[in-house]
Amino acid sequence: MDKSINPAPTKHQSAASKHGKSEEQPMKTTNVGEFAFGKENYRLMLIGLAFIAIGFLLMIGGGSTDPNTFNPEIFSFRRITLAPILILAGYVIEVFAIMKKPKD
């Protein structure tokens, strides 16, 4: 028998034929140079960062220059309720922006 006419199958070819797969498998292509997120993902991330920044800015203030006097302004609705809600909403938006699949 002449081996030049019918070469022996390679290890890869024999394994593929055992499993019933064709010898030509489609190669997965990676998109080199593309961003991981789409335009909408970045827009949502910026919105989430804005919510977080506004929440922290709303917490600023209410202190007293004199340590012997108490300023009840530190317990205002804005600092105790509104600002933490905005910060949590910002983090939720950030998680959503990261998890959202970009449109191709």
In the chain, what are the domain boundaries? 45-104
Task: State residue 74's pLDDT score.
Answer: 87
Write the pLDDT tens digit of every residue in 32-75: 777 788 899 999 999 999 999 999 999 998 777 888 888 888 89
- State the pTM of this model: 0.65
Alpha helices in the chain (DSSP H): 11-18, 39-59, 77, 83-99
- Find, among 39, 55, 44, the residue nearest to 93 by Cα: 44
Residues in the chain: 104
